[in-house]
């Protein structure tokens, strides 16, 4: 992770945004790579027959206005990409969609992945493996995961912060019935996160409480997909805003201040 800083014209240090974008891209790439690896190496994925096309994926139903409340900068574009069934060993031409929302700061500010039908359970297992891999090949270390109770269906999870209070990605993955939903944001685009990361020395060490609030806010997007549960993230976003930067959730790294210049006598 690149945690270097630059100096703004005002003299205030500013973070290189690239490290946040790269963390988020890495999370999405890891998810897709784990899916492909699961298909090749097994992971319990036996070929499944499913003629034609699976039930319609639904992330494209999300509107810019519904995502805007979760981003600090204006949404500019939505790109929808179909997910082929072969990625999950399903013969259906398409089993879902990836919806990518761009904003004025980054081209991939907020991504929602929805998989339906027989592929949903496989997608969920693959996603958990990419979020919490175990030393045992192909297994999942559940100790690295924490529940996201707000997500309908009772199977929403996020990455648990490490002993520094950091996560490798702010993703929420869930499944309800035969529909899988994952939400992967560029974390410092979530309102309030950049402020905490600045106080934590421009790192992701903002504490598990902060990451839990982020997950609660973005996880409600999946409730829109499921047509069940709360779809109002205002309480979680307010809780995130109420975390004092010096605290950094469970305790981040406070940027030291320079001592005052002695006055001349």
Residue 255 lies in a domain: no
Q: Would you state the pLDDT for residue 259?
A: 58
What does the buried/exposed string (b/e) look like for 227-246 if buried means 16 or more CB atoms within 10 Å of the residue's CB?
Answer: eebeeebeebbebbeebebe
Residue 48 lies in a domain: yes
Q: Would you state the pLDDT for residue 138?
A: 72
Which residues of the chain fall short of a pLDDT of 50? 1-22, 24-25, 30, 32-55, 57, 247-256
Residue 150 lies in a domain: yes
Residue 250 lies in a domain: no
209 is in which domain, residue-wise? 13-241
Q: Would you state the pLDDT for residue 257?
A: 52
Distance CA 207, CA 200 (A): 9
Residue 234 lies in a domain: yes
Residue 47 lies in a domain: yes
The residue count of the chain comes to 265
Task: Name the β-bridge partners of 145.
Answer: 159
pLDDT in tens, 230-258: 999 999 999 999 998 854 444 443 344 55
Residue 110 lies in a domain: yes
**What are the CA-CA distances from residue 57 to residues 94, 114, 184, 226 (Å)?**
9, 6, 17, 11
Q: How many domains does the chain have?
A: 1
Residue 265 lies in a domain: no
């Amino acid at each position: 992770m690149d945690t270097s800083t630059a100096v703004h014209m005002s003299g205030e240090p500013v973070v290189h945004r690239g490290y946040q974008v790269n963390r988020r891209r890495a999370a999405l790439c890891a998810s897709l790579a784990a899916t492909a690896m699961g298909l090749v190496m097994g992971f319990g994925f036996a070929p499944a027959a499913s003629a034609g096309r699976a039930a319609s994926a639904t992330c494209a139903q999300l509107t810019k206005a519904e995502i805007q409340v979760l981003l600090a900068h204006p949404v500019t574009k939505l790109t929808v990409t179909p997910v082929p069934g072969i990625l999950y060993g399903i013969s259906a031409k398409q089993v879902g969609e990836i919806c990518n929302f761009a904003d004025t700061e980054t081209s991939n500010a907020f991504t929602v992945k929805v998989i339906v039908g027989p592929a949903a359970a496989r997608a969920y297992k693959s996603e958990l493996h990419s979020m919490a891999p175990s030393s045992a090949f192909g297994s999942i270390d559940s100790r690295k995961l924490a529940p996201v109770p707000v997500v309908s269906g009772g199977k929403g999870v996020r990455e648990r912060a490490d002993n520094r209070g950091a996560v490798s990605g702010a993703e929420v993955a869930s499944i309800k019935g035969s529909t899988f939903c994952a939400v992967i944001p560029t974390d410092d685009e979530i309102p309030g996160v950049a402020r905490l990361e600045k106080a934590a020395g421009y790192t992701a060490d903002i504490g598990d409480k902060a990451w839990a609030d982020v997950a609660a806010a973005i996880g409600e997007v999946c409730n829109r997909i499921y047509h069940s549960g709360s779809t109002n993230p205002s309480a979680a976003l307010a809780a995130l805003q109420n975390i004092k930067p010096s605290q950094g959730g469970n305790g981040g790294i406070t940027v030291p201040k320079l001592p005052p210049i002695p006055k001349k006598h």
